[in-house]
Amino acid sequence: MRIKEAILRKKLIHEMNEEFKDDDFAIATYNLSPLPILPSNHWRSEENPAGKPSTENALQSFVQYLSEKLTDNQKRALKVTWKRLSEAPKTSGRGTIHIMEKVLNKVCECEPHIRTIFYKSAFLSCIEDRKCHRRNGGSIATIRDHAHILVEFIDSILQAMFEGTVDKFALAPEHIGLAHVRLAPLGFDRQIWHVLGECLAEVMFNQECIRAYPHAPSAWSLLSVAMTEKMYESGKIHFHAKPR
């Protein structure tokens, strides 16, 4: 059985390497342009008193921070395995949306009160959408909604890392963290970000292509920790900035 598993694993690695061999040059030579270190109040203004960073700068800064922690092999592993997961048929139960839903459901299993926050948030968002006459769900409240956001977020990270481009509407981890501060009255605590990081890493480790591909487990572990730590810190900064 072990021999058969080793053969299948070797075949899987070969397939992924063949699919992405054209990316070797880009991965080996691409470097993020260095960003200036900005003071913490750089983004503060009358229109933006909270000092919220612009989307593009914030995501570029995070990708640069993450890139410094990853080796070239780990960066390649992220791209190769994420692409492999993204190509799974939606009906197979193995696509990225399904995986992110699994991550969020696992968070709810670890912290049962989170599911109640989802329900309350969805209910309040529905009322808000009706008051504002929004259709087609203007709010992000359900587990499915959050799964889509996580997929788009990881897509944006890899796009910035390998193509050097950032969509102006792409979310940065700081923005995601700040967006959840308002859920504190519903029971949201920023410690949940650490739980999310642990659950994301665990679920990704269970994906066959990530277990098989060299450097992939450590790469996904670093990404999980880095993004959720930034989400955690953004909430901390917000609360410290509140007037007493």
Q: Could you write out the DSSP letters of every residue in the chain?
A: -HHHHHHHHHHHHHHHHHHTGGGHHHHHH--PPPPPPPPTTTT--SS-TT-PPPHHHHHHHHHHHHHHHS-HHHHHHHHHHHHHHHTS-GGGT-SHHHHHHHHHHHHHHHSTHHHHHHHHHHHHHHHHHHHTT--S--S--SHHHHHHHHHHHHHHHHHHHHH----TT---HHHHHHHTGGGGGGT--TTHHHHHHHHHHHHHHTSHHHHHSTTHHHHHHHHHHHHHHHHHHHHHHHHHHS--
Q: What is the mean pLDDT of residues 5-15?
A: 61
Residue closest to 158 by CA, chosen among 170, 175, 176: 170
- Asked if the structure places residue 28 within a domain, the reply is no
How does residue 170 score in pLDDT terms, banded at 50, 70 and 90?
confident
- Asked if the structure places residue 99 within a domain, the reply is yes
- Asked if the structure places residue 3 within a domain, the reply is no
How many structural domains are present in the chain?
1
- CATH code, domain with 165: 1.10.490.10
Does residue 132 or residue 107 have the better pLDDT? 107
- Residue-level pLDDT at 228: 97
Does the pLDDT at position 43 exceed 90?
A: no
- Residue-level pLDDT at 38: 34
* 48, two tokens: 């933006």
How does residue 35 score in pLDDT terms, banded at 50, 70 and 90?
very low
Residue closest to 31 by CA, chosen among 58, 70, 81, 82: 70
pTM: 0.75
Alpha carbon distances (Å) from 3 to 7, 9, 12, 93, 135: 6, 10, 14, 27, 55
Q: What is the mean pLDDT of residues 112-122?
A: 84
pLDDT tens column, 137-150: 456 678 999 999 99
What is the rounded CA–CA span in Å between residue 146 and residue 55?
18
First vs last C-alpha separation in the chain: 64
Share the mean pLDDT of the chain. Answer: 77
Who contacts 229 (Cβ-Cβ below 8 Å, separation ≥6)? 193, 197
Does residue 190 or residue 14 have the better pLDDT? 190
Does the pLDDT at position 225 exceed 80?
A: yes
Structural domain boundaries, residue 95: 57-240
What is the rounded CA–CA span in Å between residue 63 and residue 158?
8
- Asked if the structure places residue 48 within a domain, the reply is no
- Asked if the structure places residue 4 within a domain, the reply is no
Burial of residue 150, with CB atoms counted within 10 A of its CB: 0-12 exposed, 13-18 middle, 19 or more buried: buried
Q: Tell me how crowded residue 151 is: count the other CB atoms within 10 A of its CB.
A: 19
Q: What is the mean pLDDT of residues 161-167?
A: 88
Across 9-18, 88-97, 219-228, least confident range: 9-18
- Asked if the structure places residue 160 within a domain, the reply is yes
- Asked if the structure places residue 15 within a domain, the reply is no
Residue closest to 192 by CA, chosen among 121, 124, 122, 112: 112
- Asked if the structure places residue 50 within a domain, the reply is no
